Amino acid sequence: MKRLTWILAVPMLMSMLVRAQNSLPPEGEPHNGSEQDRMLFPRDTFWGWAQFDLAPPHNEIDPNICAGNAGQYGGVNAPCSMFARYMLSGILEVRPFGRGPLRRFMVFGAPAFLFGKNIPQTLYTWSFDAIGIEHSWGAAVYMGKGFEFRVTQHFLFDRLGARDRNLGPADQGNNGPWGRYMTVGVRKSFGTRRW
């Protein structure tokens, strides 16, 4: 617990030591913490995106829950058919503070929902059966010049509905494509989008 406290405290202290800009930016540019922002929940508190993906037949999304040879354990009726046709994913970033040193702090979440009922080389359907959700969350501190210090926790795959049980010999468990992990890292953002 002490190690986690230090991991979170050091970047926070570093960001407080970074000198804030004293002047307002030119017209048309974001002001990032100017005097007009509210202290809590400024107008740009939430940022994110959502995406819907469709995987064509013979290219299904593999959350690594069923073995690639799942069709050998029952053919088209094999119980382990968790290869996805559809994915709904996104990210939500929340920056709750508009002024002061905490304006550089944010929390984020990134879920990915998988749907489908397919078995490689055996069964290809357009079914929208719920498979599960892969999600991660974390916190970040903006350090200046496009750099962010980030702590991310990625969880095991959560199965949904009737698939939340062992599905026979081809079932590999809930580790998902990456398993469970936590990372500490630095992200560098650069460039400006045209839109």
Q: What pLDDT was estimated at residue 16?
A: 47
User: Of all helices (H) and strands (E), which one includes residue 6?
Assistant: helix 2-17
pLDDT at 108: 96
Helix (H) or strand (E) segment spanning residue 52: strand 46-54
DSSP letters of 83-108? -BSEEEEEEEEE--B-SSGGGGEEEE
User: Tokens representing 106?
Assistant: 């944010």
Rg (CA), the chain: 22
Partner residues linked to 111 by β-bridges: 135
CA dist., res. 88 & res. 90, Å (int): 7
pLDDT over 70 percentage in the chain: 79
**pLDDT, mean of residues 109-138:** 94
User: What are the distances in angstroms from CA 161 to CA 44, 54, 129?
Assistant: 36, 21, 9
Assess whether pLDDT exceeds 60 at residue 25.
no
pLDDT score at 20? 39
Residue 35's pLDDT band (cuts 50, 70, 90): low
Q: What is the pLDDT, as a whole number, of residue 34?
A: 54
